[in-house]
Chain A
Amino acid sequence: MVPLENYLVLSAILFALGVYGVLSRRNAVLVLMSVELMLNAVSLNFVAFAAHLDPDRATGIVFAVFVIAVAAAEVGLALAIVIRLFRNRSSANVDEAATLRW
């Protein structure tokens, strides 16, 4: 059996990649993809902990399924916003969408 630490290190690397992507990318679609990466890192954590600490019950796995479902809904909503943004401004660059302030 693969030790727990390996999963956790993989999850941390995925999460860090996601954070980097969110902070560095300017394209809204890529930002969204990075957010998905972070969510998947969390899901991986859930599943790994569930398999190692409480293999008889599926609590962590059910949580992971929920996270995937919520992520799908979130992407659906966010992509709709991105499309509206692109229609309005002919660009999906998040830096340019800065009118919502004082």
Chain B
Amino acid sequence: MAEHAWILAAVPAIAFLALAALGRRLPRQGDFLAVLAAASGFGLFFAVLASFLGRGEGAWPVLNAIEWTAIGDFRLNMGIAVDQITIVMLAVVTTVAFMVNVFSVGYMKGEPRYWWYFAVLQLFVASMLLLVLADNLLLLYVAWELVGLSSFLLIGHYWERRSAVEAAKKAFITTRVGDVGLLIGIILLWKATGTFNILDIIHAVEAGEVGGTGLFVSVMFIFLGAMGKSAQLPFHVWLPDAMEGPTPVSALIHAATMVVAGVYLVARLLPVFEAAGDALLVVTAVGLITALFSGVVAFAQTDIKKVLAYSTVSQLGFMFVALGAGVVSAGMFHLFTHAFFKALLFLGAGSVILGAHHRQEVGQLGGLWRRMPVTAAAFLVGSLALAGLFPLAGFWSKDEILHAVEGHRGALVFALISLASIMTAFYTTRLFILTFLGKPRDAEAGHARETGASMTGPLVFLAVLSVFAGFVVYGGVGEALGFPGGFGEFVYLHHPETFHIDWGLAGVSTALFVIGVFGAGWLYRGGRLDRAAALTAWQPKLYEMTRRKFYFDDLYQFLIDRVVLGFSYVVSWFDRFAVNDTGVDGSATLTGYAGFLLKHLQTGRVPNYALAIAAGVAALILVALAAGG
């Protein structure tokens, strides 16, 4: 089964085709097809997992490829490679996709283009699974663009709304900047190694066939693609705007799966990054800056989804910091746990938005604890997991990251990532308090009602995962589930690492959690805003700067207005005057004018023509005589 894991991607692909072709005419607009596809994907994953584990470690990675095309001696294969990282990604994608499809049945009820929404959702799942299964970079790039396309379509699902159109465009173009880098990087790696196959590239690099500055440059180009997709500074601007899409989409694409494609790519190519000089240092730096920056910006956001979006950007930064420390298990583990609790938080936010009649500004919410108890409880679990409460999932993965940073990156990075951890706990607590505690600040929030079972069901399921998913770090738990050991003994770069809890580090981690939670709890005690307002009034400029996201959007707008549009004005002037008026129209005018002058040679009189012919013949005879001597 593991060698036929491509079926996982084929099932949603077929569902997409069926829904796109027939969705509108099917009963219930075909949503049962989508849920069926997602459920069978979830089921099939376990078949793949059982087969994968059954083969034993010696048979990993499981490969299956067919020849795509042959150009001369160069053969391009298309195939799948299933290894431990792929298995983790498959688990995340199939689980969250299943939950999101079920949730969407309730959430999207009665929305426009219901069938099309589900169709594109299946397209996304198929592309994402293809992305994680691909055994070569070219196929990966195809899937990479396909997930970008589905993301674009889903962000712009409500295309009647101008902001949604703008956000979709922004997401597409911003990630495209990175994608060009990725393509250049893939081509550079191909030139250096002569293959697109990921394993062959890694072997070539490990054998020392390529290296030096050339390798560093190509790796940096690839990392550019990862930064774009995973919304790292300075490409982060598209992700918060992507919240214009339907909330379940934010949960699936912009929290759990697509945005971690960059993390996945770096994890997949980590041996190459390791060999490429200071590449990992760059990864750490970018991740660290992003984690800190988005943590601060999340303080001042008032839209419940925007807070979560900046939180996602920040957590992606955490993953890059872990990968930058060269510890693939810590990065992938945080990806794994984060997918569950962040999907939970987004679906919880969706439940809040639907229950509170499309109020999503925290200033309008509050006091939903009584009215939406299931959502509130699930959201609380997700928040605590994100903030890192012992022993929820987020605690373990954050612990692993701290451990990795402490071991490989030194005290400064450790201090900064700890600071980012405090921020995580702080903004998460703030969001929870403002949404669920205190009194409703808006009439609609006061009339909020708990959402239906198709929404609370996935919330509860994901809440359970958010509590327990972290325990797979323990060897005993992993072995009980059939794995060779804990997470670190399953996903590793060079040597499996058995997990031993470091109580000192756990203490530090818990202290960070407590500082963050109590800081926010003191500031927003009981859901009251007076202390926060006083703080804002004390430093209005700082607050404004944070609220405006440190002017990144304004800066880009300025760059586009002045530099890009200015340059394009020059280009369009050149096109109009040099190319169009002088080149194209000019040659036509010249021909016309020449014809206007020459037409007077045509008299229409037969004798003139006869004379011309006779003169011509006479001239030819003279020439012939002269030449003949």
> Do A and B truly interact?
yes
Using a CB–CB cutoff of 8 Å, the interface residues on chain A facing chain B are 19, 22-23, 26, 31, 94-95, 97-102
1/0 per position for B602-614, CB-CB distance to A under 8 A?
A: 1111110011001
What does DSSP make chain A's interface, helix, strand, loop or mixed? loop
B599 interfacial contact with A, CB 8 Å? yes
**CA distance in complex: A34, B428 (Å):** 109
* Complex contact B614–A101 (CB within 8 A): no
**CA distance in complex: A97, B604 (Å):** 8
* Complex contact A100–B604 (CB within 8 A): yes
Name B574-629 residues within 8 Å CB distance of A.
599, 602-607, 610-611, 614
The one of B602, B603, B604, B610 in contact with A23, judged by C-beta atoms closer than 8 angstroms, is B610
* Whole-angstrom distance between the Cβ of B600 and the nearest chain A Cβ: 8
**CA distance in complex: A22, B224 (Å):** 83
Among residues of B, the one whose C-beta sits closest to the C-beta of A95 is: B605
User: Which residues on B sit within 8 Å (CB–CB) of A26?
Assistant: 607
| Besides A23-B607, A23-B611, A98-B603, 4 new A-B residue pairs in contact (Cβ under 8 A), listed by A number | A19-B614, A22-B607, A95-B607, A101-B603
* Complex contact A23–B614 (CB within 8 A): yes
**CA distance in complex: A97, B607 (Å):** 11
* Complex contact B605–A94 (CB within 8 A): yes
* Complex contact A94–B603 (CB within 8 A): no
* Complex contact B610–A98 (CB within 8 A): no
The one of B602, B606, B610, B614 in contact with A97, judged by C-beta atoms closer than 8 angstroms, is B606
User: Which residues on A sit within 8 Å (CB–CB) of B614?
Assistant: 19, 22-23
* Complex contact B599–A102 (CB within 8 A): yes
**CA distance in complex: A38, B611 (Å):** 15
User: Which residues on B sit within 8 Å (CB–CB) of A31?
Assistant: 606, 610
* Complex contact A101–B604 (CB within 8 A): yes
**CA distance in complex: A102, B614 (Å):** 23
What does DSSP make chain B's interface, helix, strand, loop or mixed? helix
What is the total of A-B residue contacts with beta carbons within 8 Å? 29
Interface size class of B (residues with CB under 8 A): 10 to 19
**CA distance in complex: A37, B614 (Å):** 15
**CA distance in complex: A94, B607 (Å):** 7
* Complex contact B606–A94 (CB within 8 A): yes
**CA distance in complex: A98, B605 (Å):** 5
Q: Can you list 19 A-B contacts with CB-CB less than 8 angstroms, sorted by A residue number? A: A19-B614, A22-B614, A23-B607, A23-B610, A23-B614, A26-B607, A31-B606, A31-B610, A94-B605, A94-B606, A94-B607, A95-B605, A95-B607, A98-B603, A99-B604, A100-B604, A101-B599, A101-B602, A101-B603
* Whole-angstrom distance between the Cβ of A48 and the nearest chain B Cβ: 20
User: Which residues on A sit within 8 Å (CB–CB) of B603?
Assistant: 98, 101
User: Which residues on B sit within 8 Å (CB–CB) of A101?
Assistant: 599, 602-604
* Whole-angstrom distance between the Cβ of B105 and the nearest chain A Cβ: 75
Q: Which of A31, A97, A101 is most buried by chain B, counting CB atoms within 10 A of its CB?
A: A101
**CA distance in complex: A90, B606 (Å):** 18
Among residues of B, the one whose C-beta sits closest to the C-beta of A22 is: B610
* Complex contact B604–A98 (CB within 8 A): yes
Among residues of B, the one whose C-beta sits closest to the C-beta of A34 is: B610
**CA distance in complex: A37, B605 (Å):** 22
User: Which residues on B sit within 8 Å (CB–CB) of A100?
Assistant: 604
User: Which residues on A sit within 8 Å (CB–CB) of B607?
Assistant: 22-23, 26, 94-95
Among residues of A, the one whose C-beta sits closest to the C-beta of B610 is: A22
**CA distance in complex: A58, B607 (Å):** 37
User: Which residues on A sit within 8 Å (CB–CB) of B599?
Assistant: 101-102
**CA distance in complex: A35, B605 (Å):** 17
* Whole-angstrom distance between the Cβ of A81 and the nearest chain B Cβ: 11
Among residues of A, the one whose C-beta sits closest to the C-beta of B606 is: A94
User: Which residues on B sit within 8 Å (CB–CB) of A97?
Assistant: 604, 606
* Whole-angstrom distance between the Cβ of B96 and the nearest chain A Cβ: 76
Among residues of B, the one whose C-beta sits closest to the C-beta of A20 is: B614
**CA distance in complex: A94, B614 (Å):** 17
* Whole-angstrom distance between the Cβ of A95 and the nearest chain B Cβ: 6
User: Which residues on B sit within 8 Å (CB–CB) of A102?
Assistant: 599, 602
User: Top 10 A-B pairs ranked by shortest CB distance?
Assistant: A101-B604, A98-B604, A94-B606, A102-B599, A101-B602, A98-B605, A100-B604, A22-B610, A23-B611, A95-B605
User: Which residues on A sit within 8 Å (CB–CB) of B602?
Assistant: 101-102
User: Which residues on B sit within 8 Å (CB–CB) of A95?
Assistant: 605, 607
**CA distance in complex: A82, B606 (Å):** 13
User: Which residues on A sit within 8 Å (CB–CB) of B605?
Assistant: 94-95, 98
User: Which residues on B sit within 8 Å (CB–CB) of A23?
Assistant: 607, 610-611, 614
**CA distance in complex: A94, B606 (Å):** 6
**CA distance in complex: A95, B607 (Å):** 7
**CA distance in complex: A89, B603 (Å):** 19
User: Which residues on B sit within 8 Å (CB–CB) of A98?
Assistant: 603-605
* Whole-angstrom distance between the Cβ of A42 and the nearest chain B Cβ: 13
User: Which residues on B sit within 8 Å (CB–CB) of A19?
Assistant: 614
User: Which residues on A sit within 8 Å (CB–CB) of B606?
Assistant: 31, 94, 97
* Whole-angstrom distance between the Cβ of A31 and the nearest chain B Cβ: 7
**CA distance in complex: A19, B613 (Å):** 11
* Whole-angstrom distance between the Cβ of B41 and the nearest chain A Cβ: 75
* Whole-angstrom distance between the Cβ of B369 and the nearest chain A Cβ: 91
